Structures are given as structure tokens and as C-alpha cells.
Amino acid sequence: MATRPSPGRASGRRARDSLLAASFLAPAFAVFAVFAYYPLYRLVYLSLYRPNRNTFIGGSDEWIGGSNIIDSLTSSTFLRSLAVTAKFAVLTVPMGIILGVLLAVAADRKLRGIRIFQTIFSSTVASSVAVASVVFFTLLQPEAGLWRNVSWLSIKQPGSALVAISTTAVWQNAGLTFVIVLAALQALPSEVREAAELDGYGPVRRFFRITVPLISPALLFLAVVLVIHALQAYAQFEILKPTNDAQPLLYKIADPEGVETISSRAVYSLGLFVVSLIVSIAQFGLLERRVHYGE
């Protein structure tokens, strides 16, 4: 007659289920713990304590506390390099997306040989930032580079160095945009496009009124990802070695010249983390309303 399980048995089962769930989550948690949570904890720790390097005598790390955080966040190094990072994002993301979309629209047609162009335009995705930077180094190099006489692209001039470095990122962003937008365009039902043509939309209006809304999820994805890429840009700067006024926040954090203290670099990292978070949330908040996700 015991068709309904007793409360004791039910809670037993719930405990078993929780255990099972925990065991499924454990591997993912372990990865996050090692590569995300622990480093984040260390960052906070390093922002608050100066490590005691004298391992022979022993002794605990020194509390430096809030004043370190405030000093670091208001330092001109942090603020200037954050401004460079922001400028870099502004220079590389919109331009990269626009170029990539234009190329994708141009390549999205059934022409003989179009695949060759599709391959060329998407090749930037297959090259790492380091490779791209080396390629651009041959163009930008101050003594022998192909563009050494183009003054607004000089890496050794304050004012133009950031623009020069941005070209590599624009080139790469355009490639990623091209691949993703081309895929999005080719996934559009051709009958919708044809219906728009029959309705009488000209090519430009059709693009803005029909195509852009339909590929908006891809564009949002690109905006978010490319902004994060821009905030995290480092290799280009390391390889092309721009002037001091063109060094972004991550350059100060990685600090290849070894001029910053570990404590301030920890605070810069936290600062970058918070900025990335805010920017991503803001992008979703602002753009999400304009994005149409299928049916």
C-alpha cells in the first residue's frame, strides 16, 4: 500500500540527487577553481598585502590595505593606460566590424571564384595576434617597414603609435567579423531576402531594414567579444613596442619592463576586471533591446 514514499525516504533521495549533482559539477568547478577563483582570490590578496619575500627569517605578509588600492587606482599610470585601452577599443572595434561586414556583404554572392576571396578574408582568423603583429611589424618597422614614411602610422611618434598598432587589430577584427557575418548572412533564408526585393526595398534600405536586424545577434556577439579582446590586447604592444603614451592597461599589468610593484599590478588587474564586467553588462543592456533572436 506504500505508494507514496515516506518523507524520510524522499529526503534520502534528495540527498543522493544532490550528491550526484555535486559529482557532475566537480570537474567544471575544479577547472574554475584553479584557473579563475584562486587567481581572483590571489589578486585580492595581493592588492591588500605586500608579500614578505624573506623566506629564511619568515614572517607574515604586510597589510597595506585600502590605501594601496586607492593610490593605485588614482595613479596617473592607471588612468592614462586605461585611457589608452579605451582609445584602442574605440579605434579597433567599430572599424573592424564595419570593414568585416562590408567584406562579408561583398563576398556573400554566388560568383565564380568567390571562395578564393572568402578564404583570403577569413585567413586573419587563423593567425594568432602574435603572427599578425609580426606581419604588421614588417609594415610598421621604423627603419625598414613598408609604411615607415607614413607619418600617421609611425610607432615611434607619440600620437601616432596607437593608431599604428590599431591597424593590426582592425585587420584581425575585420577577419573575425567577416567569418561570423558571412556565416550569418548565408544562414538567412533566401526567400526573406527575395520577399524584400519584391516589396521594393533597394539594396541599401534592404540591408539596414532587413539584413542588419536579422544578423543582429551576430553583431552583438562581435561587439562584446571584440571589446573584450581590445581590453585584453597585449601581444601587439609587446611585439611592436610603442612609445610610453601608447601602452594600454594590460601592458602595465604584465609590465615587461619591470617598473611596477606587484601590489599595484594586482590592483590594476582588479580594475580591468571590473571595467570589462561593466562594459559587457552595459553592451548587453544597451544592445540587447535592439537584437532580434529568431522566432
Partner 1 sequence: MSSVVFDHVSKVFDGTVAVDGLDLTIHDQEFMVLLGPSGCGKTTALRMIAGLETVTSGTLSIGDRVVNDIPASDRDIAMVFQSYALYPHMTVRKNIESPLVAHRGRRVDAAERERRVREAADILGLGDYLERKPGALSGGQRQRVALARAIVRRPEVFLMDEPLSNLDAKLRTQTRTEIVELHRRLGSTFVYVTHDQVEAMTMATRVAVIANGRLQQTGTPDEVYRRPANLFVATFIGSPPMNVIRGVARDNGAGLELAAAAGTLTWSTPVSAVGIGSELVAAIRPEHLHVDPAGTLDFTVRAIEQLGHERHLLGRSGDADVVVRQSSADAPIAIGESLRLRPDPAEVHLFDPATEARVD
Site residues (CB under 8 A) for partner 1?
Answer: 189, 191-192, 194-202, 205, 209-210, 213-214, 216, 292, 294-295
Nearer to partner 1, 8 or 202 (CB): 202
Nearer to partner 1, 56 or 293 (CB): 293
Smallest gap from Cβ 209 to partner 1, in A, equals 8
Burial class (CB in 10 A: 0-12, 13-18, 19+), 138: exposed
Smallest gap from Cβ 239 to partner 1, in A, equals 42
Nearer to partner 1, 216 or 261 (CB): 216
The answer to whether the beta carbons of residues 281 and 240 sit under 8 Å apart is no
Smallest gap from Cβ 50 to partner 1, in A, equals 55
Smallest gap from Cβ 189 to partner 1, in A, equals 6
Q: CA gyration radius for the chain?
A: 25
d(CA 170, CA 88): 10
Burial class (CB in 10 A: 0-12, 13-18, 19+), 58: exposed
Nearer to partner 1, 192 or 282 (CB): 192
Task: Provide the pairing of β-strand 62-63 with 49-50.
Answer: antiparallel
d(CA 271, CA 69): 9
Nearer to partner 1, 62 or 197 (CB): 197
Smallest gap from Cβ 200 to partner 1, in A, equals 3
Nearer to partner 1, 127 or 216 (CB): 216
Smallest gap from Cβ 217 to partner 1, in A, equals 11
Nearer to partner 1, 17 or 197 (CB): 197
Q: Where are the alpha helices (DSSP H) in the chain?
A: 7-32, 38-48, 65-74, 76-107, 114-126, 129-140, 161-187, 190-199, 203-206, 212-231, 235-240, 249-254, 262-288
d(CA 93, CA 213): 19
* Three cell numbers, residue 221: 556577439
Helix (H, G, I), strand (E, B) or coil at 120: helix
Smallest gap from Cβ 208 to partner 1, in A, equals 12
Nearer to partner 1, 201 or 234 (CB): 201
List the one residue out of 141, 107, 137 whose CA is nearest residue 122. 107
Smallest gap from Cβ 100 to partner 1, in A, equals 22
